[in-house]
């Protein structure tokens, strides 16, 4: 039997991975205790998604476990052992605003939880491929030191800079910058994941995501800006733009496109390798541009205001360069762009919100 084990299986990337790999493996084991509701309140709950998976996927097995629970995780790994061919670690505390309020919880989930999974994989499933969903926040606020220009609706990097053509690559330093507490805990997990690949030889791949998004994202004010923005466009709920004149730029990758990157890595793993993983030049927008697109797709005028209080350590401009991944896996390509993503979000949210 070939098993894929997915943490954060009710969340955006985890649930996409569950659906994707349920078609390719004999069994998918999901681990998710809905801690996202604790982080973000009712808006962040993923119970609806977990129940959907149970109903739709006959080869899906759910465990309501906390990734900080070594004993609980070990029971699962010990039971299935070497049948586990793939571990997709997508569970996390994902908000740098929230992390500042509970640093111990944040570090426990993001760093200790990741170490638990790496070590259990080494002990019980050493031949498995291990995918770690990292973040561009490991670069801290170093991207803000790039030569940026203010345009009408966005900040943009100087055309003469090497990053202008395709975005920020993996050579950017993760050292000596302000990361936020969240960013620091993810740095710890990111480096440890690399080490399990480079030192122990596990088939570990680290994917530093830009804005990860998709129609099943349980967006909340503190995390998942594109999903939450569309929710506000549909419901008329007020949205606050924080800082940078609403011209801050993010690249956005559809959850399916990211999980498809995982699939390509699984088929030909490179232990300890690191990849930037975002929408790149293919799919990016500023906050102003995102609002305009949400209004266009939804047909509603948005209710929003602006605050000068930008989030500490937040990026002004971030676009991922995927050239390294594409050079290693040339058959991979994007399926979705920004308009596709927002159209899917609008369709699913209007159905879900009634």
Backbone phi, psi, residue 342, to 5°? -65, -35
In terms of pLDDT, which residue wins out, 76 or 353? Answer: 76
Query: Tokens at residue 128, please?
Result: 């498995």
Residue 218 binned pLDDT confidence (cut-offs 50, 70, 90): low
Give the model's pLDDT for residue 221: 61
Q: Is the pLDDT of residue 126 over 90?
A: yes
Q: What is the DSSP letter of 110?
A: I
Give the model's pLDDT for residue 351: 81
Q: Is the pLDDT of residue 222 over 60?
A: no
**Cα four-point dihedral sign 62, 273, 227, 16:** negative
- Over residues 274-289, the pLDDT tens digits come to 999 999 999 999 999 9
**Helix or strand run (H / E) with residue 228:** helix 225-235
Give the model's pLDDT for residue 97: 85
Residue 311 binned pLDDT confidence (cut-offs 50, 70, 90): confident
3-353 folds as Rossmann fold (3.40.50)
Angle at 88 between CA 86 and CA 92, to 5 degrees: 155
- Over residues 6-55, the pLDDT tens digits come to 999 999 999 999 999 999 999 999 999 999 999 988 888 999 999 999 99
Q: Is the pLDDT of residue 223 over 90?
A: no
Give the model's pLDDT for residue 67: 98
Lowest mean per-residue pLDDT among 101-115, 161-175, 223-237: 223-237
- Over residues 338-347, the pLDDT tens digits come to 999 999 999 8
Give the model's pLDDT for residue 242: 86
Give the model's pLDDT for residue 96: 82
**Helix or strand run (H / E) with residue 256:** helix 255-267
Mean pLDDT, rounded, for 54-75: 98
Give the model's pLDDT for residue 44: 83
- Over residues 189-211, the pLDDT tens digits come to 999 999 999 999 999 999 999 99
- Residue 208: beta bridge partners? 134, 276
Give the model's pLDDT for residue 69: 98
Maximal C-alpha separation, the chain: 57
Angle at 54 between CA 52 and CA 59, to 5 degrees: 130
Give the model's pLDDT for residue 195: 98
- Residue 206: beta bridge partners? 132, 274
The pTM of this model reads 0.95
Q: What is the DSSP letter of 177?
A: S
Mean pLDDT, rounded, for 167-180: 96
Q: In the 3-class helix/strand/coil scheme, how is 59-81 assigned residue by residue?
A: CEEEECCCCCCHHHHHHHHHHHH
Domain ranges of the chain: 3-353
Mean pLDDT of the chain: 94
Give the model's pLDDT for residue 310: 74
* CA atoms of 260 and 333, how far apart (whole Å): 9
């Amino acid at each position: 039997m070939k098993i894929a084990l997915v943490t954060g299986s009710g969340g955006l990337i985890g649930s996409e991975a569950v659906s994707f790999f349920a078609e390719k493996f004999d069994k998918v084991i999901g681990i998710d205790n809905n801690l996202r509701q604790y982080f973000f309140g009712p808006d962040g709950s993923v119970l609806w998604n977990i129940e959907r998976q149970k109903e739709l996927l006959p080869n899906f097995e759910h465990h309501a476990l906390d990734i900080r629970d070594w004993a609980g995780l070990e029971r699962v790994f010990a039971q299935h052992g070497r049948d586990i061919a793939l571990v997709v670690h997508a569970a996390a505390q994902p908000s740098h605003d929230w992390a500042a309020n509970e640093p111990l919880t944040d570090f426990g989930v993001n760093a200790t939880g990741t170490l638990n999974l790496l070590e259990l994989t080494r002990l019980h499933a050493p031949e498995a491929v291990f995918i770690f969903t990292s973040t561009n926040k490991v670069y801290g606020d170093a991207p803000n030191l790039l030569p940026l220009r203010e345009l009408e609706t966005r900040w943009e990097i100087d055309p003469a800079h090497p990053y202008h053509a395709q975005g920020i690559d993996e050579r950017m330093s993760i050292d000596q910058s302000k990361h936020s507490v969240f960013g620091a805990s993810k740095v710890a997990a990111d480096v440890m994941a690399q080490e399990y690949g480079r030192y122990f030889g596990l088939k570990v791949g680290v994917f530093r995501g830009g804005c990860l998004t998709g129609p099943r994202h349980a967006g909340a004010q503190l995390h998942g800006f594109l999903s939450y923005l569309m929710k506000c466009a549909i419901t008329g709920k007020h949205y606050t733009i924080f800082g940078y004149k609403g011209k801050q730029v993010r690249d956005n990758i559809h959850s399916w496109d990211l999980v498809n990157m995982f699939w390509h890595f699984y088929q030909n793993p490179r232990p300890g390798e690191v990849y930037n993983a975002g929408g790149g030049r293919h799919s990016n927008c500023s906050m102003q541009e995102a609002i305009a697109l949400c209004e266009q797709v939804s047909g509603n005028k948005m209710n929003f205001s602006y605050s000068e209080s930008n989030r500490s350590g937040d990026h002004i401009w971030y676009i991922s360069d995927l050239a390294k991944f594409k050079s290693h896996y040339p058959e991979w390509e994007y399926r979705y762009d920004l308009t596709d993503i927002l159209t899917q979000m609008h369709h699913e949210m209007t159905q879900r919100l009634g």
